[in-house]
């Protein structure tokens, strides 16, 4: 009885220094954070340089939204590496590791609520979309991330964790509808369909990986261990953020006049919808 009591209570009392030490002790996990801190830092420098001569207001807005992605990312990963945004949470009955503590990187879900809207704002502006559709995509992704955070932090009931996960997936569908059904039509009218469709595909495929990793990882059915789960997210982040942003900014830099000329046709596909 004492052993059970100790096991369930003591780790929940971990100090931030102890969480930091647990991260330090897992070299593979720690590397998944620092690889992204380094790449986000390099991306920030590169993107500031790439955007230095952009004059058009819409092109500048795309650039600012895109630059915010690695800026949020470096903060997010610093939160994880320092132990600030990681907690050990005891999983409820029915969970694969019921009664044990799962290392929960809740800072990831929190900061996605800030970074994913920037990705979608940049994509919506590139497609020549209107405020309504951009608003729909941004509110959808914010709700997806916050309900995903709720899924990860729920310790009362195994069923309620998956119910939050289901709600989050419904918000993901809201985002996918705008991204895959509405914006391609706008981009066609705006004349940016080529680059938009490339980024749309990269976004749809990589974003789909996040709920898969959540479901397979320690917080879901616990098939993947914590370091593999974390590397899964880190690799997806590299593709969905830095590679995505580089492709977008390269286009904006080389085609500023096309983006400037597109402002007139803003939301022109609406009459067809």
Asked if residue 43 lies in contact with residue 242, where contact means CB atoms within 8 angstroms, the answer is: yes
| Using rule CB under 6 A, residue 58 touches ligand RET | no
Measured from each CB, the residue nearest to ligand RET is 148
Options 11, 92, 211, 261; binder of ligand RET; rule CB under 6 A = 211
Residues in a beta bridge with 103 = 88
Asked if residue 62 lies in contact with residue 122, where contact means CB atoms within 8 angstroms, the answer is: yes
Options 63, 109, 183, 251; binder of ligand RET; rule CB under 6 A = 109
Nearest approach in angstroms of CB 258 to ligand RET is: 26
Options 22, 237, 249, 256; binder of ligand RET; rule CB under 6 A = 237
Options 241, 249, 259, 267; binder of ligand RET; rule CB under 6 A = 241
Helix (H), strand (E) counts: the chain: 12, 2
Distance CA 256, CA 54 (A): 7
Asked if residue 245 lies in contact with residue 253, where contact means CB atoms within 8 angstroms, the answer is: no
**Which of 179, 240 has the CB closer to ligand RET?**
240
Nearest approach in angstroms of CB 114 to ligand RET is: 8
**Which of 33, 214 has the CB closer to ligand RET?**
214
- Element (DSSP H or E) covering residue 61: helix 57-81
Give 93's DSSP letter.
T
Asked if residue 165 lies in contact with residue 211, where contact means CB atoms within 8 angstroms, the answer is: yes
Phi, psi dihedrals of residue 129, rounded to the nearest 5°: -75, 170
Distance CA 176, CA 201 (A): 11
Options 33, 165, 183, 251; binder of ligand RET; rule CB under 6 A = 165
Options 47, 172, 196, 242; binder of ligand RET; rule CB under 6 A = 172
Options 86, 238, 240, 245; binder of ligand RET; rule CB under 6 A = 240
Distance CA 90, CA 155 (A): 7
Nearest approach in angstroms of CB 115 to ligand RET is: 3
Q: Is 104 helix (H, G, I), strand (E, B) or coil?
A: strand
Nearest approach in angstroms of CB 119 to ligand RET is: 6
Asked if residue 39 lies in contact with residue 69, where contact means CB atoms within 8 angstroms, the answer is: no
Nearest approach in angstroms of CB 53 to ligand RET is: 27
**Which of 196, 210 has the CB closer to ligand RET?**
210
Interaction pattern, residues 111-150, with ligand RET; x per rule: CB under 6 A: -x--xx---------------------------xx--x--
Burial of 165 (0-12, 13-18, 19+ CB in 10 A): buried
**Which of 161, 259 has the CB closer to ligand RET?**
161
Q: What is the token pair recorded at 260?
A: 């400037």
**Which of 56, 168 has the CB closer to ligand RET?**
168
Footprint of ligand RET on this chain (CB under 6 A)? 109, 112, 115-116, 144-145, 148, 151, 165, 168-169, 172, 207, 210-211, 214, 237, 240-241
């Amino acid at each position: 009885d004492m052993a059970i009591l100790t096991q369930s209570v003591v780790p929940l009392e971990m100090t931030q220094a102890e969480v930091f030490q647990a991260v330090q002790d897992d070299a593979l996990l720690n590397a998944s954070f620092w690889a992204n801190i380094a790449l986000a830092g390099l991306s920030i420098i590169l993107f500031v340089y790439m955007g230095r001569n952009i004059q058009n207001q819409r092109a500048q807005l795309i650039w600012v939204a895109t630059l915010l992605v690695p800026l949020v990312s470096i903060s997010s990963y610093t939160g994880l590496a320092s132990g600030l945004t990681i907690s050990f949470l005891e999983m409820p009955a029915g969970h694969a590791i019921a009664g044990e503590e799962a290392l929960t990187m809740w800072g990831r879900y929190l900061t996605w609520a800030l970074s994913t809207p920037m990705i979608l704002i940049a994509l919506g502006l590139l497609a020549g979309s209107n405020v309504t559709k951009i608003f729909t995509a941004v509110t959808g992704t914010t709700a997806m991330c916050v309900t995903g955070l709720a899924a990860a932090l729920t310790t009362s009931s195994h069923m309620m964790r998956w119910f939050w996960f289901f709600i989050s997936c419904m918000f993901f569908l809201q985002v996918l509808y705008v991204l895959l059904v509405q914006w391609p039509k706008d981009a066609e009218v705006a004349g940016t369909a080529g680059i938009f469709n490339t980024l749309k595909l990269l976004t749809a495929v990589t974003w789909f990986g996040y709920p898969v990793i959540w479901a397979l990882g320690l917080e879901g059915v616990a098939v993947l261990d914590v370091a593999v789960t974390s590397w899964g997210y880190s690799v997806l982040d590299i593709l969905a953020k830095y590679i995505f942003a580089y492709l977008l900014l390269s286009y904006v830099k080389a085609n500023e006049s096309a983006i400037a000329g597109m402002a007139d046709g803003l939301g022109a596909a609406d009459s067809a919808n």
